[in-house]
Amino acid sequence: MDRRPSPSDRWGSVSRVPPVRSPVLARGHLLAATFTAVAVGMISSPSAAQVAGLPTFGISAPQITPGVDERQIGVDVTTAYDSNVARSSAALAAARGVKQQDFYVLPSANALFSEVFGRETVFLDAAFGYKAYARNSFLDRDNIKLGAGAVGQFSLCQGTFAGAYDRSQADLSTLPISVGGTRPVLAAKDTQTNAVVDFTAICGRSIGFAPTANVSEVWVTNSSPSFQAIDAHIFSGSGGITYRNPVLGSATIDGQYSKVDYPNRFVPFGSMTTGFGFQTMGGGVTLARTVGSRLSGSLSVNYTRLEPNTAFTQGFSGITYDANIAYALNPRLTLTLVAGRGVTPSNEIEATFLITEIYGMEAAYALGDRLSISAGYSRTHENYEGILFPVAFILTEQTINGFYTNANFRLNRHISLRPAISYSQRTANFTPYNYNDVTVSMTAHTTF
């Protein structure tokens, strides 16, 4: 039996979740990650990427399990039908030169290595693939996902250093029509690269008070000149103190700071220009507890104050939060609920930031040792804030509803099949952004 999911699963392959947006990991798959972590009781002191008061974008550092030796090499082949590759209306898809309905294949080679050296653990997780479309060949692109890190124990302190890199065709639902001009730009071909480095430390015994600290940096870049204005650089950090108790759970009080810069986005100011971006400051409390073997959950509530770099746009101050709870009705069935509200960077050049709210639920059922199925729903609402130069075709508000179901059928020790179906619907203030999409996929997974 495979001890852990393949690298493509952990990074969010098409066979596992629909395109779900998150208030904490913008444009990512936090919903699925939260479902997985809560279901198996992996609740601990949050890193910067998991705190509702800190904005992140595009990518997060990999999770590392200390003290585990593991070596795994595998191959995944995903084939899928996508009813709306463009993630837009038919008119906008045609203007961008994208055929809405398409089939694609995504073969990938995966490797996972985890090695223990005394009290230290090093970790490497890699997936190299290539996504090829039948009708939209100009969107064909390599898919590279790398993650590495190390965990070390020094006296009463544990430090974790991790990094990640990914490269692929940008999700067309995140590419804006407007990129700062008075006429819309209708490009679609764009390779997006994301990178993150993250360091987390906690000092103390397993019971009692323990100071914690985290720093993280994220870089998001786009290859197309049409979209380089949405490149972003995010620095974030937090520090606080945690109380841990095996029976009562954990409670953390911390302060948070982040700075978001858009290096290729500028605002004219007389004979000079000033850079777009913002910084946030705040603090809050995070509670986490596992009750028996059936119930687990966590809640993070923060006060966040956002200040834009320019004095011409409004900021934000208010409550942000992140909550999840999982309940195992029996050894086979687990229900999970998540909710969140947070500040995220904006992919629209005219907007400085987003206020994002997400709600989701999932049911996971194991029919036996070989077959498991899951189904879920999520609703995401986003408001684009800090708009300096409003134009008719920019995105200012949108709601995305998503449904999905998937299964994992283990044929034998090394081979499994993973069918999946997802449906997503977007409703926006600018109707060309509206769409409905159905994706049906099958992934064959092999380990050696």
Going from N- to C-terminal start, the domains of the chain cover: 7-447
| CA proximity to 257, closest of 238, 284, 234, 276 | 238
Beta bridge partners of 272: 269
CA atoms of 195 and 396, how far apart (whole Å) = 27
Q: DSSP secondary structure string, 234-302?
A: EEEEEEEEEEEETTTEEEEEEEEEEEEEEEEEEEEETTEEEEEEEEEEEEEEEEEEEETTTEEEEEEEE
Q: What is the mean pLDDT of residues 151-161?
A: 91
Q: Quote the DSSP letter at residue 33.
A: H
Q: Give the separation between CA 12 and CA 34, rounded to whole angstroms.
A: 12
Cα separation, 178 vs 29, in Å, equals 26
What's the pTM value of the predicted model, to 2 decimals?
A: 0.83
Two tokens at 260? 């978001």
Longest dimension (CA), the chain: 69
Q: What is the pLDDT of residue 271?
A: 56
CA angle 220, 51, 190 (to 5 degrees): 15
Q: What is the pLDDT of residue 27?
A: 34
Strands (E), 33-98: 56-57, 70-82
Query: So what's the pLDDT on residue 49?
Result: 36
Distance between CA atoms of 136 and 176, rounded to whole angstroms? Answer: 19
pLDDT the model gives residue 419: 97
| SS3 state at 18 | coil
Share of the chain above pLDDT 70, in %: 82
CA-based nearest residue to 316, from 292, 348, 282, 284: 282
pLDDT confidence band for 269 (50 / 70 / 90): low
CA-nearest of 18, 78, 118, 37 to 405 is: 18
Structure tokens at 241: 């103190």
Q: CA-to-CA distance for 218 and 215, rounded, in angstroms?
A: 10
3-state secondary structure of 393: coil
Q: What is the residue type of 331?
A: P
- 174 pLDDT more than 60: yes
Tell me the pLDDT tens digit for each residue of 24-73: 333 333 333 333 333 333 223 333 333 344 444 556 767 777 778 889 99
CATH architecture for residues 7-447: Beta Barrel (2.40)
Selected residue with higher pLDDT from 78 and 154: 78
Pairing outcome for strands 25-26 and 56-57:
parallel
Contact between residue 376 and residue 397 where contact means Cβ atoms under 8 Å apart: no
Q: Whose structure tokens read 């084939």?
A: 79
pLDDT confidence tier of residue 10, bands split at 50, 70 and 90: very low
Q: What is the pLDDT of residue 386?
A: 87
For residue 391, give Cα distances in angstroms to 43, 173, 195.
Answer: 44, 19, 32
17 neighbors 10 (Cβ within 8 angstroms): no
CB of 422 closer than 8 Å to CB of 403: yes
pLDDT digits (tens, 9 = 90+) for 96-139: 999 999 999 999 999 999 999 888 999 999 999 999 999 999 99
Which tens digit of pLDDT belongs to each residue from 194-245?
999 999 999 999 899 999 999 999 999 999 988 888 899 999 999 999 999 9
Task: Supply the DSSP symbol for 170.
Answer: P
State residue 268's pLDDT score. Answer: 60
User: Per-residue confidence at 311, pLDDT binned at 50, 70, 90?
Assistant: confident
345-360 pLDDT tens trace = 998 888 899 999 999 9
Q: Flag whether pLDDT at 447 surpasses 80.
A: yes
- pLDDT bin (cut points 50, 70, 90) of residue 182 is low
